[in-house]
Amino acid sequence: MKNRTKVLWTEKAEFPIGWGIKKHSHDYYHLFYIVEGNGSFIIHEQVFDAKPDLCYIIPPGVPHELEKVKDNTLISYEIKFLIHDEDIVKHLNLETPQFVGDEFFRSIIPSIVANGRSKDSYYIRNTDAFLCSLLVHIANKNDVEEAPNSELIDTAGFHKITIKAIDFIEQQYMKRIYLDDVADHVGYNRNYLCSLFKKDTDITIIDYLNYVRIRKACEYIVYSDIDMNRICYRVGFTNPNHFNRTFKKFVGLPPTVFSKLHPFDINDDNDSVDSTLNKQLLTIPEALKTLNQTNE
């Protein structure tokens, strides 16, 4: 399988007073992460301060230069690389090439630089994984607000309000949440929200909340050693009897019976609940049906 990125060259570079980089461009990406000192980058005719914990990614074909260092030695990690994954390119908005570093930058960039020129396939794969993680991290930092989505169902074709409500439920299901909480989060009247949600999904908001809670309960039963009462409270139920009734409604059998039918088996590749729960769920009706299939 082709790597998603390719590191071409790495270095921990030092620029003493009077040194710089002449204006140039190239056919690959160029990353600078400033470790010490101060200076000035000119990227596409725009001036940027070069100072510790700032990261710059210059896209292919963009003219850039480092003005001659004036005050003290500038130290920077440099990574020159290609991106073969169109999804990374799409999400990596480099209209503004400057990013503020954080603990993730400080831990992962030195590793990429240290191993990026290795010819050993093990280190090549690891460096590719590290670089991909860094680029995804940068893409996420660049988003003012992460787009809501669902980890359980395909929301294609749903109204953005419905998607926002689904995302809220999936993030907050373990708490005591009510219709008004969901309505306040999406910023719309609860009656309008309920109508829109039912139109998109063909079920009510409360039914979806209960589906998410039971779906999560199934995961806890399969993957953890938490007792049933704790699972009940952890997924948002306040009453074990209500949890048991709701579980049986969605799965078709009580949680205690489900746990005996589906002990986790690392060697089971065919008929495990894991393969059932984690298959791609195309619609909410299919998602609900999938839970019931776990008792077969």
Q: Quick one: tokens of 186?
A: 């999406």
Q: Quick one: tokens of 137?
A: 């991290």
The whole-angstrom separation of Cα 88 and Cα 93 is 9
CATH architecture of 160-293: Orthogonal Bundle (1.10)
Pick out the chain residues at pLDDT < 70: 1, 142-148, 263-296
pLDDT in tens, 243-269: 999 998 888 889 998 888 776 655 555
The whole-angstrom separation of Cα 235 and Cα 214 is 8
**pLDDT at residue 287, as a whole number:** 60
**DSSP conformation letters of 20-71:** -EEEE--SSEEEEEEEE--EEEEETTEEEEE-TTEEEEEPTT--EEEPPP-S
The whole-angstrom separation of Cα 134 and Cα 199 is 40
The whole-angstrom separation of Cα 194 and Cα 103 is 42
Q: Do domains 5-142 and 160-293 have the same CATH topology?
A: no
State the first-to-last Cα distance of the chain, in angstroms, to the nearest integer: 36
**Do the Cβ atoms of 155 and 162 come closer than 8 Å?**
yes
The whole-angstrom separation of Cα 3 and Cα 9 is 16
The whole-angstrom separation of Cα 278 and Cα 219 is 10
The whole-angstrom separation of Cα 104 and Cα 58 is 20
Residue type, 158: F
**pLDDT at residue 294, as a whole number:** 52
pTM of the model: 0.63
Q: Domains of the chain: which residue ranges?
A: 5-142, 160-293
**pLDDT at residue 279, as a whole number:** 44
pLDDT in tens, 120-147: 989 988 999 999 999 999 988 765 455 5
Fold of 5-142: Jelly Rolls (2.60.120)
**pLDDT at residue 155, as a whole number:** 85
List residues bridging with 64 in a β-sheet.
24, 43
**pLDDT at residue 253, as a whole number:** 85
The whole-angstrom separation of Cα 287 and Cα 153 is 7
